[in-house]
Amino acid sequence: MLMCNRFSFRTRTLWSLSLLGALVLSGCKFPSPPVVSVTIKSAGGEDEGTADVDAEESEVAGYGNLTGQITLNGTAPTLMPLVNAGDAGVKDASVCSIEAVPNEALEVDPATKGIGNVVIYLAKAPKHINPDLASSDTDVNPAVFDQKGCKFFPHILPVRVDLDQPLVIKSDDAIAHNTHTYPQRNSQFNQAVKANDREGITVKYSRAESEPIRVTCDYHSWMKAYHFPIDHPYFAITNPDGTFTIEGLPAGKHEFKVWQESGGLLDRKLEVTISPDETTSVDPAKTTYSADKFKL
């Protein structure tokens, strides 16, 4: 029985090979894999040729804008100044207490309950970036981080690492400060800044961070701010009334992160669909956060 089976298999194999050879010799052709193509029409309707289409390389349908407002649901806390005006007991009082240094940990507009200094951003750079926002000019303006009255300006500073944007740290105080960063993906920076240094110290971040990073002055413990190295233009920092606009977003569905210093990541996946050549407004119900989310 075993020999019979072997003989049968061999016979079938030889027969199949003979048939295949006969087909080749007779000129029979085998089907080729299908090729997807599109016909390009001229303005008059005539065919101008065909081109292969790859869905992965298709162009974006267009670009649109996003607007919204981040608001607080609940009672806004009253935050006392970090330094009171005229407080002679603080370090370097002749400079640091000329004016009160406000607590910026949670800024809420009394009229609208909008929250200022909230960062809304795409977690990663999209495949398509509006060419008007993707400039790689070597003379891109630096991001300037300043200090006056023992307070950092601005409180949150974005830095475009995709544009190799330099960061210039200055001081307008008649005393020395230092700038100490606490990054996750970049090298730490901790350097003194001399009094009245208007030329500044230039540094660069090499990598995007997943969220804004804390910056302090070791000489004056109340001084705190944030840098946000990011590798695309799709972010915004809310105005004092909580409003924001992000321009030139590629059309389609996106997921944004929403970050605030006292609440951390308020939202990890704020879903928004952008239509080409339109301004989309976020549903206010999606960007209103309860007071218990903020730890002060």
User: Does some domain include residue 104?
Assistant: no
CATH code for the domain in which residue 143 is found: 2.60.40.420
Specify if 211 maps to a domain. yes
| Residue pair 73/291 in contact by the 8 Å Cβ criterion | yes
Annotate 212-252 with DSSP letters as a single string: -EEEE-SSSTT-EEEEEEESSS-EEE--TTSEEEEEEEESE
Instruction: Give the domain extent around 184.
Output: 135-232
- Residue 21: is its pLDDT beyond 60? no
pLDDT band of 140, cuts 50, 70, 90:
confident
Query: Do residue 283 and residue 172 come from a single domain?
Result: no
CB atoms within 10 A of CB 36: 8
Q: For the chain, what is the total number of helices (H) and then of strands (E)?
A: 2, 22
Instruction: Tell me, yes or no, whether 123 and 244 share the same domain.
Output: yes
Please give the Cα distance from 11 to 85 (Å, whole number). Answer: 102
What CATH number corresponds to the domain at position 278? 2.60.40.10
| 270 assigned to some structural domain | yes
Give pLDDT tens digits for 158-213: 999 999 999 999 999 999 999 999 999 999 999 999 999 999 999 999 999 999 99
Residue 287 contacts residue 70 (beta carbons within 8 Å): yes
User: Of 208, 232, 256, which residue constitutes the final position of a domain?
Assistant: 232
Residue 37 has pLDDT above 50, yes or no: no
- At residue 138, the pLDDT reads 55
| Among 198, 232, 266, residue at a domain's last position | 232
At residue 59, the pLDDT reads 82
Per-residue tokens: 191: 């350097």
Q: Are 218 and 249 part of one and the same domain?
A: no
Which residue in the block uniquely carries the two structure tokens 């903020």? 294
Question: Token digits for 137?
Answer: 């000019």
Query: Looking at the 3D structure of the chain, how many domains does it have?
Result: 2
Is the Cβ–Cβ distance between 289 and 73 less than 8 Å? yes
Side chain identity at 192, as an amino acid letter? A
